[in-house]
């Protein structure tokens, strides 16, 4: 701020807004440094005062406005670079998967629930996602990107059936996956808990 | 100094990544802010925000989405707006659209709530054109910043993790100024009384009305009415009111002292007094309070 004439007005006002104190000394300092922004600084100072005075009075959210802004974001946002989604399971040997499931203390069905993208990643505690990603020598971001796609047939699994096997249509929660895999109650609770 | 700090942070982050999240710290970590103050020091979040984030990053997305529905700000599970900004920025490389949408919607609700409506108008009636325009501009500015942040991590949104409501107010201020400039609005007080003597009526309008006290009223509805009455004033009057509430001297023979006359850029202290009188008269009218002489 010592010589920041090139700073945009917005940056200066943002810096003022997040100052720890908005006392006279702070306002004086900004008025001295940015006399060309005196009107805006005084307006903001008043706005912050009125915000404090009426902070607990919140208007009901304008849901139409909220939805319109989401649509605006989607419309403005560049199409997400469809960076190739990496399959974190692709280069992991079966023996490594066995070691991983033992390390995580889960049945193989749980690992398959991830490799087939059957489980809804949003329902999985963050610590487990991290642990699994590390075990796959992948990253949390790559694993989440991979899991966001619809379920698929788990690779490397043999099927015996009259008809052609097909992937599940809908994802299931982590808890349901653990139940389906008959994970004992106590271990299931441990796996579902947020690690503090 | 700040660049050194950022380099250190990046190195530290890389080191943590090389160990894996649980490698040696035993837990995931909340990424620090990278925005620098003018004196070179890094901005930091409030302690309560840091504590809340430390808890949130250990939770599943399902738990976070459930917590977003909590409206009671006193609940320990209530997700602070600063935390939502962190979480949404953290989805940068994520294509979990549903999670992003939930965070985004809640953030926009908070943004909308932080933007005041003018002159006591409620959501279902038309509001001040400028305020409505400014709200849309704030939304557009925030969206632009969010898109830029997602494309290339920067520090532009750090302010919103420090103090969401304050940063929103700052965007609103710049947006209101742009909206007014574009509309080239002529204010009611445009024919400035730079040379007019303050009238007795103008002086008596101020009387014993202490707006700072009024804004501390126990009645939140009344406080809201006072705030609306102040917000509805023309720019030139409103600014004088703010500086009066700060007990800033109207004028001074000491050049080093900041005064209202200097701050609002007028030649005569009488102009300040005129504006103060006009402002208080309008506020009294809005609040149905008579002059002290009434």
Residue B142's contacts (CB-CB under 8 Å, 6 or more residues apart) are B111, B171
Residues B53 and B172 in one domain: yes
Residues B146 and B266 in one domain: no
Per the structure, the complete domain to which residue B258 belongs is given by 200-286
Is the Cβ–Cβ distance between B36 and A14 less than 8 Å? no
- Rounded to whole angstroms, how far apart are CA atoms A148 and A143? 9
- Which residue in the block uniquely carries the two structure tokens 């009075």? A57
- Rounded to whole angstroms, how far apart are CA atoms A51 and A57? 9
pLDDT band at A150 (very low <50, low <70, confident <90, very high): confident
Window A:119-138, CB contacts with B under 8 Å: 121-127, 130-131, 134
Residue B183's contacts (CB-CB under 8 Å, 6 or more residues apart) are B129, B130, B133
- Which residue in the block uniquely carries the two structure tokens 């974190």? A88
Whether pLDDT at A10 is above 60: yes
Whether pLDDT at A162 is above 60: no
Residues B61 and B141 in one domain: yes
Q: Which of B149, B183, B217 is the last residue of a domain?
A: B183
Residues B30 and B55 in one domain: no
Count of CB atoms situated within 10 Å of the CB of B251: 16
- Which residue in the block uniquely carries the two structure tokens 């007019």? B196
Helix A108-115 × helix A94-104 angle, to 10°: 120
Alpha helices, DSSP H, located in A77-119: 94-104, 108-115
Average pLDDT, chain A: 82
pLDDT, tens digit, for every residue of A62-81? 788 888 888 888 877 765 54
3-state secondary structure of A140: helix
* Domain presence at residue B291: no
Burial class for A155, CB neighbours closer than 10 Å (0-12, 13-18, 19+)? exposed
Residues B120 and B57 in one domain: yes
Residues B91 and B163 in one domain: yes
> What is B137-192 written as a DSSP string?
HHHHHHHHHHHHHHHS--STTHHHHH-HHHHHHHHHHHHHHHHHHHHTPPPTT-S-
Whether pLDDT at A122 is above 80: yes
Among partner residues B43, B220, B242, which is closest to A42 by beta-carbon distance?
B242
In total, how many domains does chain B have? 3
Parse chain A into domains and list their residue ranges: 9-53, 94-192
To the nearest whole percent, how much of chain A has pLDDT over 70?
Answer: 80
- Rounded to whole angstroms, how far apart are CA atoms B16 and B69? 33
- Name the closest residue on chain B to residue A133, using Cα atoms: B20
pLDDT band at A120 (very low <50, low <70, confident <90, very high): confident
- Rounded to whole angstroms, how far apart are CA atoms A127 and A112? 18
* Domain presence at residue B28: yes
- Rounded to whole angstroms, how far apart are CA atoms A34 and A28? 10
- Rounded to whole angstroms, how far apart are CA atoms B240 and B246? 10
Residues B50 and B73 in one domain: yes
Residues B170 and B208 in one domain: no
Is the Cβ–Cβ distance between B114 and B164 less than 8 Å? yes
Residues B226 and B145 in one domain: no
Among partner residues B38, B159, B241, which is closest to A1 by beta-carbon distance?
B38
So what's the pLDDT on residue B18? 43
B112/A61 CB distance under 8 A: yes
So what's the pLDDT on residue A54? 83
Our CA-based measurement puts residue B45 at a distance from the nearest CA of chain A, in whole angstroms, of: 10
- Rounded to whole angstroms, how far apart are CA atoms B226 and B217? 10
So what's the pLDDT on residue A144? 83
Whether pLDDT at A12 is above 70: yes
Q: For A175, what's the count of Cα atoms within 13 Å in the CB-facing half-sphere?
A: 8
Mark the ranges of chain B whose per-residue pLDDT is less than 50: 1, 14-26, 119-127, 185-193, 195, 197, 294
Give yes or no for B169 touching A (CB within 8 A): yes
Interface test with B, best of A25, A85, A126 (most B CBs within 10 A): A126
Q: Which of B129, B110, B105 is nearest to B119 (CA)?
A: B129
Our CA-based measurement puts residue A159 at a distance from the nearest CA of chain B, in whole angstroms, of: 30
Count of CB atoms situated within 10 Å of the CB of A175: 17
Between A140 and B278, residue with greater pLDDT = B278
Tokens of B198: 């303050």
Whether pLDDT at A6 is above 80: no
Report the complex ipTM: 0.81
CA distances from A171 to A114, A188, B203 (A): 10, 19, 71
Average pLDDT, chain B: 80
Residues B57 and B168 in one domain: yes
Residues B52 and B171 in one domain: yes
So what's the pLDDT on residue B136? 78
So what's the pLDDT on residue A167? 59
Residues B108 and B50 in one domain: yes
So what's the pLDDT on residue A55? 73
Our CA-based measurement puts residue B64 at a distance from the nearest CA of chain A, in whole angstroms, of: 9
* Domain presence at residue B77: yes
- Rounded to whole angstroms, how far apart are CA atoms B289 and B285? 6
Whether pLDDT at A11 is above 50: yes
* Domain presence at residue B189: no
* Domain presence at residue B126: yes
């Amino acid at each position: 701020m010592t010589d920041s004439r090139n700073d945009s007005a917005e940056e200066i006002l943002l810096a003022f807004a997040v100052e720890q104190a908005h006392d006279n000394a702070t306002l004086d300092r900004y008025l001295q440094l940015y006399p060309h922004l005196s009107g805006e600084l005084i307006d903001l100072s008043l706005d912050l005062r009125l915000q404090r005075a009426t902070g607990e009075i919140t208007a009901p959210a304008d849901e139409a406005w909220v939805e319109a802004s989401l649509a605006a974001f989607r419309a403005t946002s560049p199409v997400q670079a469809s960076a190739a989604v990496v399959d974190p399971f692709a280069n992991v040997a079966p023996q490594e998967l066995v070691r991983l499931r033992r390390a995580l203390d889960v049945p193989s069905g749980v690992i398959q629930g991830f490799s087939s993208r059957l489980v809804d990643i949003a329902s999985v505690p963050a610590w487990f996602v991290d642990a699994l990603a590390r075990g796959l020598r992948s990253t949390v971001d790559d694993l989440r990107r991979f899991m966001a796609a619809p379920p698929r047939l788990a690779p490397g699994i043999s099927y015996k059936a009259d008809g052609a096997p097909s992937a599940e249509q809908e994802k299931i929660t982590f808890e349901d996956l653990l139940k389906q895999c008959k994970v004992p109650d106590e271990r299931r609770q441990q796996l579902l808990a947020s690690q503090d | 100094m700040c660049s050194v700090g950022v380099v250190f942070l990046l190195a530290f982050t890389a080191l943590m990544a090389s160990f894996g999240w649980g490698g040696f710290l035993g837990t995931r970590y909340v990424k620090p802010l990278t925005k620098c103050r003018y004196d070179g020091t890094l901005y930091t979040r409030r302690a309560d925000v840091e504590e809340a984030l430390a808890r949130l990053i250990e939770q599943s997305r399902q738990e976070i989405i459930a917590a977003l529905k909590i409206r009671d700000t006193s609940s320990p599970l209530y997700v602070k707006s600063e935390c939502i900004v962190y979480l949404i920025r953290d989805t940068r490389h994520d294509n979990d659209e549903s999670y992003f949408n939930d965070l985004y919607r809640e953030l926009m609700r908070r943004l909308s709530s932080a933007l005041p409506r003018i002159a006591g108008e409620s959501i279902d009636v038309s509001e001040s054109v400028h305020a409505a325009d400014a709200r849309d501009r704030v939304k557009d500015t925030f969206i632009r910043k969010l898109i830029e942040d997602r494309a290339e991590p920067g520090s532009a949104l750090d302010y919103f993790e420090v103090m969401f409501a304050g940063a929103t107010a700052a965007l609103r201020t710049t947006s209101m100024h742009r909206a007014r400039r574009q509309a080239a609005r002529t204010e009611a007080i445009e024919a400035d009384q730079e040379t007019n003597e303050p009238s007795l009526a103008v002086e008596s309008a101020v009387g014993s009305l202490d707006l700072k006290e009024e804004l501390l009223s126990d009645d939140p509805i009344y406080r809201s009415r006072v705030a609306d009455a102040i917000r509805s004033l023309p720019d030139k009057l409103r600014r004088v009111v703010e500086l009066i509430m700060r007990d800033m001297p109207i004028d001074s023979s000491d050049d080093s002292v900041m005064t209202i006359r200097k701050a609002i850029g007028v030649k005569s202290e009488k102009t300040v007094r005129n504006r103060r009188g006009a402002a208080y008269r309008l506020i009294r009218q809005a609040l149905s309070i008579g002059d002290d002489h009434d």
